[in-house]
């Protein structure tokens, strides 16, 4: 990544969901004018961290209509066969799952992996285990979405809370039509996003690979077997 691209990523404006936290940090810093310099520094550091955490850079999805793209920034921690969350009603047949772990340093905006209609959204309360663990997909608090694509097939995206994450935000509703790369949510502060591919579609990514949400191609629908 070039220096210009890196600077644009770091200095990207924050999503509106971050402004209350940024404002809190600035308020603490203002209070420090009367309470002590240490409080000024604490407030400014927190505000700066929130500016970084909630940054919302512009992403350009690939022009290929058959591409399924990464729903989040981060690192691929699992590529395996798994059954989507039961609450989505997508059946019990395993399909390929790509799990992306987001550290607190990653962009946390979630993006739709394809163009289609949101057919189901299901929130499930749970634990706050380390999101990189396999059992986090079962035990952790999560928000699951099912999408119906233009060809009639379904996929699922699951937002999973992490060790220090305490709030999952979802910006879409059942029945909404969304385009690939559109923002659909975020998770505070550190999390995981799982993508369950349509039946017959195999992933093109590997464990350890870095994902750029809204841009990295995870699979091609035309490569379905």
Question: The domain containing residue 140 runs over which residues?
Answer: 67-223
More confident residue, 122 or 19: 122
Does one domain contain both 105 and 182? yes
Catalytic residue among 2, 103, 132, 191: 191
Measuring CA to CA, which residue among 109, 108, 134, 123 is closest to residue 190?
108
- Please indicate, yes or no, if residue 60 is contained in any of the structural domains: no
Does one domain contain both 184 and 159? yes
Neighbour tally for 13: CB within 10 Å? 12
Does one domain contain both 121 and 92? yes
- Please indicate, yes or no, if residue 59 is contained in any of the structural domains: no
Measuring CA to CA, which residue among 61, 110, 121, 56 is closest to residue 85?
121
Structurally, the chain folds into a number of domains equal to: 2
Contact 149, 114 (CB under 8 A): yes
Q: Is beta strand 142-149 parallel, antiparallel or unpaired with respect to 109-111?
A: unpaired
- Phi–psi pair at 10, nearest 5 degrees: -70, -35
Does one domain contain both 21 and 73? no
Does one domain contain both 10 and 107? no
pTM of the entire predicted model: 0.86
Tell me the sheet residues that pair with 82.
Answer: 95
Does one domain contain both 36 and 80? no
Mean residue pLDDT across the chain: 86
Does one domain contain both 188 and 126? yes
pLDDT attached to residue 215: 95
Does one domain contain both 46 and 149? no
- Please indicate, yes or no, if residue 93 is contained in any of the structural domains: yes
Does one domain contain both 88 and 32? no
- Please indicate, yes or no, if residue 177 is contained in any of the structural domains: yes
Does one domain contain both 46 and 71? no
Residue 28 has pLDDT above 60, yes or no: yes
Determine the distance from the C-alpha atom of residue 201 to the mean position of all C-alpha atoms in its chain, rounded to a whole number: 21
103 is catalytic: no
What's the rounded Cα separation, in Å, for the pair 84 and 151? 20
Instruction: State the CATH number of the domain containing residue 182.
Output: 2.70.70
Mind listing the pLDDT tens digit for each residue in 108-155?
A: 899 999 999 999 999 988 665 555 556 656 667 889 999 999 889 999
Does one domain contain both 73 and 43? no
Does one domain contain both 204 and 156? yes
Neighbour tally for 75: CB within 10 Å? 16
- Please report which residue ranges of 154-220 form alpha helices under DSSP H: none
- Please indicate, yes or no, if residue 181 is contained in any of the structural domains: yes
Residue 190 has pLDDT above 70, yes or no: no
- Please indicate, yes or no, if residue 58 is contained in any of the structural domains: no
- Please indicate, yes or no, if residue 139 is contained in any of the structural domains: yes
- Please indicate, yes or no, if residue 62 is contained in any of the structural domains: no
């Amino acid at each position: 990544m070039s220096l210009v691209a890196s600077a644009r990523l770091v200095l990207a404006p924050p999503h509106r969901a971050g402004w209350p936290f940024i404002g809190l940090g600035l308020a603490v810093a203002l209070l420090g004018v009367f309470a002590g310099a240490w409080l000024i520094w604490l407030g400014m550091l927190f505000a700066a961290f929130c500016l970084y955490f909630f940054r919302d850079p512009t992403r350009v999805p690939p022009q290929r209509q058959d591409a399924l793209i990464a729903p989040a920034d981060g690192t691929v921690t699992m590529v395996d066969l798994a059954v989507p969350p039961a609450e989505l009603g997508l059946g019990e047949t395993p399909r390929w799952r790509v799990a992306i772990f987001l550290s607190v340093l990653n962009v946390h905006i979630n993006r739709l992996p394809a163009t289609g209609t949101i057919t189901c959204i299901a929130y499930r309360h749970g634990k706050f285990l380390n999101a990189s663990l396999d059992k986090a997909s079962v035990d952790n608090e999560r928000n699951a979405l099912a999408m119906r694509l233009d060809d009639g097939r379904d996929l699922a995206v699951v937002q999973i809370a992490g060790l220090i994450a305490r709030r999952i935000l979802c910006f879409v509703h059942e029945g909404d039509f969304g385009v690939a790369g559109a923002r659909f949510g975020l998770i505070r502060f550190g999390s995981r996003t799982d993508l369950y591919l349509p039946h017959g579609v195999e992933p093109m990514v590997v464990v350890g690979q870095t994902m750029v949400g809204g841009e990295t191609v995870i699979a091609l629908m035309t490569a379905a077997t």
